[in-house]
Structures are given as C-alpha cells and as structure tokens.
C-alpha cells in the first residue's frame, strides 16, 4: 500500500513514462515540477505558453529548456485550449494546469466540442493528503469543482475516491461520508444523503469499498472518539477516504490540514477522458510533482 506521496513517483516509474502537457506554463512552480518529473523519468513534458517567458524562467531557475517541447501561445485562454487539443489528439496522456486561472482551465476541459468531457460524465476533484500525524494517505473530495453536490453527484464523488484509493493499492478502501454528526438526523440533508449512500454500498450499488455515513470528522478519523461515543462501524476511526457534503466543508478541511498540520498533497480532476492535474497557482513545486505522478499513474491504468 502506498503510504507516502513520494512512493507515487516510484510506482509510476514501474508503470511506464507518460507524456504531460501543461497549459500556460509560464511560472516557475509549474516549470520546476515538470522539470523534476522529466528528470525522474515519469513523464515527457510539453509546455504551452509564451516561449520567451518560459525560456526566461528556465534560465532563472537553471533548468535546461531543451528538455521540453515548447508550444508558443501567449494568451492563457488559447493556451488552455491548445493544451486540451494536445490531449485530444493523443500527443499527451495527462493535462496540467499552469498559470492559467482555474475557471479558464475548467472551461477548456468542459468545452462541448473541443474538451475532454465524456457524454453524461460528472467531473470531480480528488485530493490525496499526506498528513504527518497519520500513518496512511487520506483521499478526499471535492475541494475544487462541485460546489454543492446532490445525491447523484455524491455517489460519483464516492466512486471516484474509491478509484483513486485503489490506485494507491488500498484493496478495500474505507470511505466515510462526512456530515456534522454521526447521528441520523432527517432534517440535515447531508445525513440523509450519507445514509442512502451507505445503504447503496451495503447492497452492492457501490462496489470495492466499505462505505459508512453519516460520520462526523472526529469519528471518521479518530479511534478514541469512536470508543468514547460507542459507535459501531466498519469505517469509523480508520477511514481511507472522505466524501464531504459541500465544497466549503472539504476546502476548509483541506486548507486546515495543509496550513496547520503541514500536510502535503496531490490533486487531480477525475472523470475526464484523461487525468487533469489541478493544483492552486500558489502550490509548491513538490505538490505539483506529486500531482503529476498521480495523474501519470491514473493514465497508466487507463492505457494498460
């Protein structure tokens, strides 16, 4: 089982090198991360953006620009569309967000004629957290794409976190459907949805995982809280995956984990025809490297 994000890089090496295209790769963090990924043998890199800017960044960071294929496009919206087209043509296996804003990046992915959205598909963001206080990785959703998921979307989120956790060699992921309480309170929609999803899993409508909910975040992750509350659950106290009721809840948890608990992360959009790396423009080079590795690993499974 993969318990550290660094192990993702080694796992991808075994799966085989993929080609990544970065949209509007005009910043040092994106270029640095792709450079590290190329040097470590997990991807070949295509950078779409302003060539002069990219080469200036490479020079400043002492990176050999010759290790990349650079595609000139100075406009960020057009750069995102050009990067998506590179994936659609089969020239690249993984898409990555560079300095382009998230809304323009997602619009390029979601474009009806020229994007990467399969028919009737629902995209979601999946984040893998490495928290120093935890002995394993935590996979969670959705911090970035679906603001207020309905029941059907929460089922998609659940299946997507299961899919990513299994990529990390968690054979039977334990999935907590998170709410403000572990009590079944009909007046709280998050509790109702969580209970329905848990029952769907009991009856085989969601497979390859143990799913329970509603679970408050303390009983989802802390065995002592489970013992104190005398809760019986196959998931509580040992969750591998967390599905949150809203983007606010997920985003607050994620940022508290990264800023206060010093968690490291990898983040991708799942559900498109190719993995799409989605991190913040301010995320570190290491975060972007781990996200590239996660995207390459998913691409390896899709093409195997």
Q: What are phi and psi of 46, to 5 degrees?
A: -115, 125
Task: Say if residue 191 is in the same domain as residue 228.
Answer: yes
pLDDT band at 283 (very low <50, low <70, confident <90, very high): confident
Task: Say if residue 89 is in the same domain as residue 165.
Answer: no
| Token pair listed for 174 | 């334990």
CA distance 257 to 241: 15
Provide CB contacts within 8 A for 171, sequence distance 6+: none
pLDDT score at 213: 96
DSSP secondary structure letter of residue 282 = T
Write the pLDDT tens digit of every residue in 10-61.
999 988 899 999 999 999 999 999 999 999 999 999 999 999 999 999 999 9
pLDDT score at 285: 86
Beta strands in the chain (DSSP E): 18-23, 43-49, 68-72, 94-97, 124-130, 138-141, 174-178, 210-215, 241-243, 264-270, 276-277
pLDDT score at 15: 87
Task: Say if residue 190 is in the same domain as residue 249.
Answer: yes
* Domain CATH code at residue 15: 3.40.50.10950
Task: Say if residue 177 is in the same domain as residue 245.
Answer: yes
> What residues does 140 pair with on adjacent strands?
127, 242
Q: Could you tell me if 295 and 275 are in contact, meaning their C-beta atoms sit under 8 angstroms apart?
A: yes
pLDDT band at 281 (very low <50, low <70, confident <90, very high): low
pLDDT band at 97 (very low <50, low <70, confident <90, very high): very high
CA distance 154 to 139: 15
Task: Say if residue 165 is in the same domain as residue 214.
Answer: yes
What DSSP string runs through 20-52?
EEEET--SHHHHHHHHHHHHTTSEEEEEEE-HH
| Token pair listed for 101 | 């804003």
| Token pair listed for 108 | 């390029």
Task: Say if residue 255 is in the same domain as residue 131.
Answer: yes
Write the pLDDT tens digit of every residue in 220-279.
999 999 999 999 999 999 999 999 999 999 999 999 999 999 999 999 999 999 999 988
Q: Could you tell me if 274 and 116 are in contact, meaning their C-beta atoms sit under 8 angstroms apart?
A: yes
Give me the residue label for tokens 């790396």: 277
CA-based nearest residue to 12, from 249, 292, 253 = 292
pLDDT score at 280: 76
Task: Say if residue 183 is in the same domain as residue 288.
Answer: no
Domain that holds residue 174: 122-269
Q: What is the tally of structural domains in the chain? A: 2
* Domain CATH code at residue 237: 3.40.718.10
CA-based nearest residue to 210, from 201, 220, 221, 219 = 201
Does the pLDDT of residue 303 top 60, yes or no? no
pLDDT score at 76: 95
Task: Say if residue 178 is in the same domain as residue 196.
Answer: yes
Task: Say if residue 292 is in the same domain as residue 177.
Answer: no
Task: Say if residue 126 is in the same domain as residue 105.
Answer: no
Look at 294 and 16; give whichever has higher pLDDT: 294
Task: Say if residue 29 is in the same domain as residue 160.
Answer: no
Q: Could you tell me if 275 and 299 are in contact, meaning their C-beta atoms sit under 8 angstroms apart?
A: yes
Q: Is 163 helix (H, G, I), strand (E, B) or coil?
A: helix
Write the pLDDT tens digit of every residue in 178-220.
999 999 999 999 999 999 999 999 999 999 999 999 999 999 9
Task: Say if residue 241 is in the same domain as residue 284.
Answer: no
CA distance 39 to 47: 15
Degrees to nearest 5, angle at CA 42 with 243 and 160 = 15
CA-based nearest residue to 82, from 46, 117, 28 = 46
> What residues does 155 pair with on adjacent strands?
none
């Amino acid at each position: 089982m993969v318990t550290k994000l660094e192990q993702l890089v080694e796992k991808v090496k075994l799966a085989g090198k993929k080609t990544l295209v970065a949209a509007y790769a005009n910043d040092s963090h994106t270029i640095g991360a792709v450079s590290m990924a190329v040097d470590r043998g997990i991807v070949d890199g295509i950078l779409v953006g302003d060539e002069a800017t990219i080469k200036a960044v490479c020079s400043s960071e002492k990176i050999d620009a010759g290790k990349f294929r650079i595609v000139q496009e100075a406009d960020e919206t057009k750069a995102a569309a050009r990067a998506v087209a590179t994936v659609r043509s089969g020239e690249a296996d993984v898409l990555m967000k560079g300095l382009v804003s998230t809304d323009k990046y997602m619009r390029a992915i979601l474009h009806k004629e020229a994007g990467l959205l399969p028919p009737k598909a629902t995209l979601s963001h999946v984040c893998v957290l490495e928290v120093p206080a935890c002995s394993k990785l935590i996979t969670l959703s959705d911090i970035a794409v679906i603001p207020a998921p309905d029941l059907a979307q929460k089922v998609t989120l659940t299946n997507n976190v299961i899919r990513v956790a299994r990529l990390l060699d968690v054979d039977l992921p334990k999935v907590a459907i998170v709410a403000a309480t572990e009590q079944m309170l009909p007046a709280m929609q998050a509790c109702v949805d969580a209970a329905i999803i848990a029952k769907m899993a009991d009856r085989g409508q969601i497979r390859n995982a143990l799913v329970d909910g509603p679970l408050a975040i303390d009983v989802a992750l802390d065995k002592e809280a489970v013992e104190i509350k005398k809760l019986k659950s196959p998931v509580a106290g040992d969750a591998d995956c967390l599905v949150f009721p809203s983007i606010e809840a997920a985003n607050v948890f994620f940022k508290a984990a990264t800023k206060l608990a010093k968690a490291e992360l990898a983040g991708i959009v799942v559900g498109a025809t190719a993995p799409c790396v989605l991190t913040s423009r301010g995320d570190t080079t290491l975060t972007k490297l781990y996200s590239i590795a996660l995207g390459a690993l998913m691409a390896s499974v899709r093409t195997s």
